[in-house]
Homo-oligomer: A and B are copies of this chain.
Amino acid sequence: MSVTPLSLQAAMNGVAEEVDEAFDRLLALPGDPRDPLYAAMRHAAIGGGKRLRPLLVRASADIFRVDPARSLRAGLAVECMHVYSLIHDDMPCMDDDDMRRGRPTVHKVWDEATAVLAGDSLHALAFEVLAEPECHPDPFVRSELSLALAIAGGPSGMAGGQMMDIAAEQQTFDLPTTTRLQQLKTGALISFSIEAGAILGRIPAEHRTPLRGYARDIGLAFQIADDLLDVEGDAANTGKAVGKDAAAGKSTFVSLLGVERAHQQANLLVDQAIEHLSTYGPEADLLRAIARYIVERDR
């Protein structure tokens, strides 16, 4: 592969920097009583974070030679959704986390009301970013992006997965139900990110099968890796508390498969994901490198 670990790192850093700059512009303080709302959004959104989702948009869009300014915008929208979900998920009534990305969470620095409103605001901004004409000159593309993101974020996607995650504290889920939970909770936004590249490239839905297969596989691999980090990881690297799922008695891929089989399964999924890309040449090398990275990362 032409994408070395070093050039993957360079691509990640490049996207992360662009996302930070875009958030800095999007979330400029208005200089009125809403300033704490914007400050809370900035705290959660700027600096830190792997920016995996914007990187996936970029890598997918690059296959179809999409203008990087457009893939950045779609990446910014999905990152707005991701950050909003983290803010709400960290609240005391949800996962009750005090630390995120190595910093105190929004409701710890401000309060719960500000956390609710900062999440809600980023949620709305995600759709504002996609619906603006600057996103793409073709309104059909903008509309298709909005529809895909709304489905990925709503009760048939991320929010539905989070509801299942709450139910998982009360009942023991088997492997198929846990897989479905994770496909909704984290898989839906990851799949959106990869699909967004094809939408921006005006690739008809019937020609997106390889990318959808890739997305499904790395989405699951990502979650298995996350569950492994929760067991084997280091709070200093991950920037958040570890061992929480086991403490809550939740079914995870690790509790269901054991550590060794979970590692095997994650690697198998990555091989399979890369297999799906065989119709593409070197233009998909960044997607291939991201698949490997997903199971090898330590945060």
A residues with CB within 8 A of B: 30, 32-34, 36-38, 41, 84-85, 88, 91, 93-94, 111-117, 119-121, 123-128, 130-132, 138-140, 142-144, 146-147, 149-151, 153-155, 157, 159-160, 162-164, 166-168, 171, 173, 177, 180-181
Residue of B nearest to A152 (CB): B124
A154 touches B34 (CB 8 A): no
A163 x B128 contact (CB < 8 A): no
Do residues A159 and B120 form an inter-chain contact, with CB atoms below 8 A? yes
In the assembled complex, the Cα of A32 lies from the Cα of B30 at a distance in Å of 43
Residues of B within 8 A of A155 (CB): 30, 34, 37-38, 41, 121, 124-125
Assess the B143–A128 pair: CB atoms within 8 A.
no
A163 touches B93 (CB 8 A): no
**Cβ contact of A94, chosen from B37, B85, B113, cutoff 8 A:** B113
* A150 x B127 contact (CB < 8 A): yes
A33: B residues at CB distance < 8 A: 163-164, 167-168, 171, 173, 177, 181
| A177 to B33 alpha-carbon distance, docked (Å) | 9
Q: Is the CB of B34 within 8 A of A160?
A: yes
Select A146's contact among B143, B157, B163, B173, beta carbons within 8 Å.
B143
Q: Among the listed B91, B116, B139, B146, which residue makes an inter-chain contact with A140, where contact means beta carbons less than 8 Å apart?
A: B139
Contacts of A146 in B (CB 8 A): 127, 130-131, 142-143, 146
Q: Given the interface contacts A33-B163, A164-B33, does A125 sit within 8 Å of B139 by beta carbon?
A: no
- Which chain B residues border A131 with CB–CB below 8 Å? 143-144, 146-147, 150
Q: Are A123 and B121 neighbours in the complex by a CB distance under 8 Å?
A: no
> In the complex, are the beta carbons of A111 and B123 less than 8 A apart?
no
Chain B's closest residue to A145 (CB) is B131
Taking a contact as CB atoms under 8 Å apart, the answer to whether B128 and A154 are in contact is yes
